[in-house]
């Protein structure tokens, strides 16, 4: 089959989802695979017209919003092609997708069911149910353990087309994005990952991650962005990979994401990772209001954020918080306290300005929808926006 894999948005880095899916589809030698990254490329109509199967990657909210438009354009150019959405947001929104432009939806660990699905379509065989949803046949997301393959990076534009790291010395470094795990062992209520993974972690085999890093270095990567939802969920796995990565490529710097609780729990690992070339750590601080942190089930308090800042500063690595300042429970004084916290803890240059403006998203399946404290504020599901509406008690 001629397969076209489309990515629309992955935070400015070279997309992992289509490269990983592409590797699995190419492995059997039965399909021709092309990719399009609409974040840096225009829609190539010739690629769409020759595709029998179009797979659209939806790892995040912006990706699915753009992905539906891409699917509609693909359908207009090639009415016969099979359109499949895969990734985290596809399964959260499968009803809407399957009532509209999608022929199929694959959630969770997508590479194996996607490959099986394309194989079956090529044979005109019956659909393989594991992880695959069709209009007439729904399946839960695939959470079985997969054997991964190094992503097919050659299908994508070069790293120079993507966001680069600017160091404190003003040097620009090409960035390669990798994943050493999927899912998460935690269940923060505002996060879409537990709605699919239900507190489960799925590890990408060490040799696969290292082969991917080797490929990226060969393509010019000078910095590795570990995009795991939480790199310290599998702390030993992550440390082993970084030690081996640095022994192979001593010049590489890197960054990762970890929750505040893990930074405190794994202080020694933070020290070692900093010594191995970590230049910053992203952490979903979200709020410094302990009441809101309890509603979100974040597993940390304001004091814990201060402790994590002390640990990362002692390790000489920057903690870069992400924030969720606008929730139904935010007050004017609470917002001002957040700004004071940023100033008092010398965080102004560690925060991206967009963080001051983030508003809570309530996707279908959000665990926040289950708590009584949100009920007075929540409205209806706007399917085409992929969120429930909510209204602040003081909208003025």
List interacting residues with ligand SF4 (CB under 6 A). Answer: 184, 186-188, 191, 193-194, 229-230, 259, 284
Residue with smaller CB distance to ligand SF4, 252 or 293:
293
In 3-state terms, what secondary structure has residue 111? helix
> Which of 327, 323, 393, 321 has the alpha carbon at shortest distance from 360?
327
As measured in angstroms, the least distance from the Cβ of 29 to ligand SF4 is 36
Smallest distance, ligand SF4 to C-beta of residue 110, A: 18
Least Cβ distance, residue 91 to ligand SF4 (angstroms): 16
In angstroms, what is the minimal distance from the CB of 285 to ligand SF4? 11
Other Cβ atoms less than 10 A from the Cβ of 125: the count is: 10
Closer residue to ligand SF4 (CB): 74 or 193: 193
Confirm if 183 and 201 have CB atoms less than 8 A apart.
yes
Strand order of the β-sheet with 2-7 is 32-37, 2-7, 53-57, 82-86, 104-106, 132-133
Q: Which conformational region is residue 43 in: left (phi greater than 0), alpha (psi within -120 to 50 degrees), or beta?
A: beta
Contacts of residue 69, defined as CB under 8 A and 6 or more positions apart, other chains included, come to: none
CB of 153 or CB of 186, closer to ligand SF4: 186
- For ligand SF4, give the closer residue by CB, 112 or 181: 181
Q: In the bound complex, what is the minimum distance in angstroms from residue 177's beta carbon to ligand SF4?
A: 16
Residues 6+ apart with CB under 8 A from 122: 1, 30, 31
In terms of CB distance, is 64 or 156 closer to ligand SF4? Answer: 64
Min dist. Cβ of residue 338 to ligand SF4 (A): 18
Cα(40)–Cα(56) distance, rounded to whole angstroms? 15
> Quick one: 66 or 188, whose CB is closer to ligand SF4?
188
Comparing C-alpha atoms, which of 331, 350, 251, 318 is closest to residue 287? 331
When the beta carbons of 22 and 229 are compared against ligand SF4, the nearer one is: 229
HEC string of 217-279 equals HHCCCCEEEECCCCCCCCHHHHHHHHHHHHHHCCCCEEEEECCHHHHHHCHHHHHHHHHCCEE
Question: Rounded to the nearest whole angstrom, what is the least distance from the CB of residue 346 to ligand SF4 in the complex?
Answer: 24
């Amino acid at each position: 089959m001629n397969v076209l894999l489309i990515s629309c948005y992955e935070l400015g880095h070279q997309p992992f989802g289509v490269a990983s899916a592409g590797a699995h589809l190419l492995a059997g030698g039965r399909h021709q695979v092309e990719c399009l990254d609409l974040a840096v490329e225009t829609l190539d109509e010739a690629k769409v017209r020759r595709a029998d199967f179009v797979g659209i990657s939806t790892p995040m909210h912006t990706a699915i919003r753009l992905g539906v438009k891409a699917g509609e354009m693909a359908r207009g150019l090639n009415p016969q092609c099979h359109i499949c959405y895969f990734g985290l947001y596809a399964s959260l929104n499968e009803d809407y997708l399957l009532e509209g432009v999608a022929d199929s939806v694959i959630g969770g660990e997508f590479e194996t069911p996607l490959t099986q699905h394309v194989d079956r379509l090529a044979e005109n065989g019956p659909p393989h149910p594991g992880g695959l949803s069709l209009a007439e046949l729904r399946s839960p997301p695939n959470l079985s353990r997969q054997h991964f393959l190094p992503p097919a990076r050659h299908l994508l534009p070069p790293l120079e087309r993507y966001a680069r790291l600017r160091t404190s010395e003003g040097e620009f470094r090409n960035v390669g994005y990798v994943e050493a795990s999927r899912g998460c062992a935690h269940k923060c209520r505002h996060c879409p990952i537990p709605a699919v993974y239900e507190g489960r972690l799925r590890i990408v085999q060490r040799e696969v991650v290292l082969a991917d890093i080797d490929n990226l270095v060969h393509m010019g990567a000078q910095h590795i962005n570990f995009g795991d939802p939480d790199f310290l969920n599998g702390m030993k796995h992550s440390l082993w990979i970084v030690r081996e990565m640095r022994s192979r490529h001593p010049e590489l710097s890197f960054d990762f994401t970890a929750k505040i609780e893990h930074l405190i729990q794994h202080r020694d690992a933070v020290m070692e990772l900093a010594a191995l070339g970590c230049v910053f750590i992203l952490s979903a601080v979200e709020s410094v209001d302990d009441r809101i942190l309890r509603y979100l089930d974040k597993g940390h308090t304001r004091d814990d954020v201060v402790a994590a800042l002390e640990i990362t500063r002692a390790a000489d690595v920057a903690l870069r918080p992400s924030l969720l300042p606008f929730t139904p429970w935010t007050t004017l004084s609470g917002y001002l306290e957040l700004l004071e916290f940023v100033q008092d803890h010398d965080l102004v240059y560690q925060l991206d300005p967009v963080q001051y403006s983030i508003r809570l998203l309530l996707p279908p399946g959000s665990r926040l929808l289950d708590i009584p404290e949100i009920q007075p504020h929540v409205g209806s599901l706007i399917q085409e926006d992929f969120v429930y509406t909510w209204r602040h008690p003081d909208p003025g």
